[in-house]
């Protein structure tokens, strides 16, 4: 289990997260929704140990880090056990997409052409563009490369920040069905998404954040029968633009 408890975080005197608690269980998909600027990405970074909160704690498989950390305490990001795919993707510009995908494998002394690589390239229809450099590829093609790079590391927890935002309907459907499959194989997934239909169909848990707080959470049915006015408003805005 990857669990955050009572997380608060400020940037330049502005509170971005206020007493947020959530947990990600292996084999379950959690969809995090909410307006932009509400602290969703910051929470993802904290769960991946890439950012430290001001207070609260994060526990990964029984090991708890309580913030602020003791001076002598160091956090080693549990990568690739916890792997994040950010919206910015972080691809190396001087390497082809394929090299970007395989570099973390070779850096870890692993086979950089495992059968799973060929499977994923085929599944995501990538063979015709993997030899391109990131600046020669579309954002959707780069998103697929970043996701395949993450999947090849066999993460136990996968944290995704709106990774289908630039994909067409068909590619989005393939990725979403893959995520469901990964969930059923025991990976714990937290995905920031604006795809309400996906959240409703695939998520075990939906969390709605606004103003740095969790306003409502529960099963996917909260998307059909929200209790809070703020969530109703958010859903009706999303429905009018999607
Ligand atoms: P969301 O993912 O919900 O859009 P973010 O977590 O990216 O929200 O950002 C929440 C708020 O924190 C925003 O107002 C953003 O400008 C601010 N913020 C995020 N990262 C930093 C940073 N490194 N320094 C200062 N402010 C930041």
Write out the E strands in 13-87.
14-24, 29-33, 55-60, 63-67, 82-85
User: What is the C-alpha to C-alpha distance for residues 104 and 152, in angstroms, rounded to an integer?
Assistant: 9
What's the pLDDT band for 16 if we cut at 50, 70, 90? very high
Phi-psi region at 210: left, alpha or beta (left = phi > 0; alpha = psi -120 to 50): beta
What is the average pLDDT value for the chain, to the nearest integer? 92
Where do we find the tokens 């947020």? 20
What is the reported pLDDT for 192?
Answer: 95
What is the reported pLDDT for 214?
Answer: 98
pLDDT of 189 strictly over 70: yes
Q: Is the peptide bond before 68 cis (omega within 30 degrees of 0)?
A: yes
What's the pLDDT band for 241 if we cut at 50, 70, 90? low
Percent over 90 (pLDDT), the chain: 71
User: What is the C-alpha to C-alpha distance for residues 137 and 3, in angstroms, rounded to an integer?
Assistant: 36
CA-39 nearest atom, ligand 1: 6
What is the tens place of the pLDDT at every residue in 67-124?
A: 999 988 888 888 889 999 987 778 999 999 999 999 999 998 999 999 999 999 998 8
User: What is the C-alpha to C-alpha distance for residues 225 and 134, in angstroms, rounded to an integer?
Assistant: 42
CA-35 nearest atom, ligand 1: 3
What is the reported pLDDT for 180?
Answer: 87
| Pocket probe mutation, ligand 1, options 17, 37, 86, 207, max atoms within 8 Å of Cβ | 37
For atom 24 of ligand 1, the residue with the nearest CA is: 11
What is the reported pLDDT for 177?
Answer: 85
- Provide the whole-model pTM: 0.92
For atom 19 of ligand 1, the residue with the nearest CA is: 42
């Amino acid at each position: 289990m990857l669990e955050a408890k009572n997380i608060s975080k400020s940037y330049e005197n502005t509170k971005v997260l206020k007493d947020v608690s959530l947990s990600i269980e292996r084999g379950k998909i959690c969809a995090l929704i909410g307006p932009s600027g509400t602290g969703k990405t910051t929470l993802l970074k904290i769960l991946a140990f890439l950012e430290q909160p001001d207070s609260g704690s994060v526990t990964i498989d029984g090991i708890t880090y309580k913030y602020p950390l003791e001076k002598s305490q160091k956090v080693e990001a549990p990568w690739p056990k916890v792997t994040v795919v950010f919206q910015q993707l972080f691809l190396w510009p001087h390497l082809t997409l394929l090299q970007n995908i395989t570099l973390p494998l070779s850096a870890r002394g692993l086979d950089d052409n495992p059968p799973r690589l060929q499977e994923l390239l085929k599944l995501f229809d990538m063979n015709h563009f993997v030899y391109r450099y990131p600046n020669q590829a579309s954002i959707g093609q780069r998103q697929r490369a970043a996701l395949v790079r993450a999947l090849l590391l066999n993460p136990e927890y996968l944290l995704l920040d709106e990774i289908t935002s630039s994909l067409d309907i068909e590619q989005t459907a393939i990725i979403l069905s893959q995520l469901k499959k990964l969930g059923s194989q025991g990976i714990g997934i937290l995905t920031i998404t604006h795809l309400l239909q996906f959240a409703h169909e695939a998520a075990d848990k939906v969390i709605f954040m606004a103003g740095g707080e969790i306003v409502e959470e529960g099963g996917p049915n909260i998307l059909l029968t929200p209790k809070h006015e703020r969530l109703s408003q958010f859903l009706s805005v999303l429905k009018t633009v999607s």
